[in-house]
Amino acid sequence: MDTDMTRKGFYSVLRWRSDVTRDEARNVAVLLVGAEGRFGGIRSAPISSISPRLHEQGLLDEMLVGLERQFQGEGGPTLETLQRMHDSLYRSLYLTEPKPVAVPDVGAVLEALYRAYAAPRPAGRQVTKAVVLDRVVTTLRKKGFEVHRGTYIEDFIFDAVVESRRKRKSAVEVLSFAARLKNWSPVEHDAGHFLYALEQLNIRGVAVIQPPSEPTHNGASTSLGRVRRWLGKAKVPTFAPNDLAEVDLDSL
């Protein structure tokens, strides 16, 4: 019988190629398993650090959610599972060949592997729309909602579509005025597209807005005021990311 000091694990790195022909890949997550599935875990990088494209973020998020579910409960993935995934995934998303690793402590080893292979560089990250969307998706899932990131309803793509415990769907728009931008027209365009889509689909909408982190002279506050007026006229509830944990979407 294995002991904590002698048990052996295997790890693989999940990688993403946005352009298969150029063969330029980024590390997405680290998967750690015991040979017989007695222990294991997955640690993924923030989606915002992998791709700036909303639809690609949605595809990556869906894949990671599916993998994380496999690690929940008894009888998780095994070395055979990793090897099978390595053999079958070979295009945009692929898994490296499993490698052995000593596992005295699952959490500590997984954290070390994550820092070595998947963790984004800590310095200089802007508070972009994608970064805020990471937080929004995580917060809503912790509250028990089913969240689909970067997904379409008919012909319209939304930052997130949330299904509540009552099976009611809400479209979520995330806007950040804390990024270092000189031109806020694209942000206003996103808000306008969101409002038009809500009108065409007759679906509930919620906006999550990251305000400027400090007084700015780049027009952020002026643009923010303009967008807030649009949302107010359309009667779309708006929240700051820090307040979202206290919001009950079922009551809106």
Q: pLDDT class for 159, splitting at 50, 70, 90?
A: very high
pLDDT at 165 over 80: no
Mean pLDDT for 194-222 is: 90
CA–CA gap between residue 236 and residue 221 (Å, rounded): 19
Mean pLDDT for 189-204 is: 96
pLDDT at 8 over 50: yes
pLDDT at 87 over 70: yes
- Write down the pLDDT at residue 69: 87
pLDDT tens per residue across span 107-134:
999 999 999 999 987 766 688 999 999 9
Highest mean pLDDT among 21-25, 100-104, 248-252: 100-104
Q: Which residue has the higher pLDDT, 82 or 252?
A: 82
Question: What is the pTM assigned to this prediction?
Answer: 0.86
User: CATH 3.40.1350.10 occupies which residues in the chain?
Assistant: 129-251
- Write down the pLDDT at residue 35: 82
Mean pLDDT, the chain, whole residue set: 88
- Identity of residue 127: V
Mean pLDDT for 21-40 is: 85
- Write down the pLDDT at residue 217: 66
pLDDT at 209 over 80: yes
- Write down the pLDDT at residue 93: 85
CATH entry, 129-251, from 3.40.1350.10, 3.30.450.40, 1.10.275.10, 3.40.710.10? 3.40.1350.10
pLDDT at 232 over 60: yes
- Write down the pLDDT at residue 18: 74
Mean pLDDT for 144-156 is: 94
- Write down the pLDDT at residue 216: 65
Enumerate the β-bridge partners of residue 25.
17
pLDDT at 6 over 80: no
pLDDT at 22 over 70: no
Q: pLDDT class for 252, splitting at 50, 70, 90?
A: low
Mean pLDDT for 229-252 is: 89
CB 97 within 8 A of CB 7: no
pLDDT at 24 over 80: no
- Write down the pLDDT at residue 1: 44
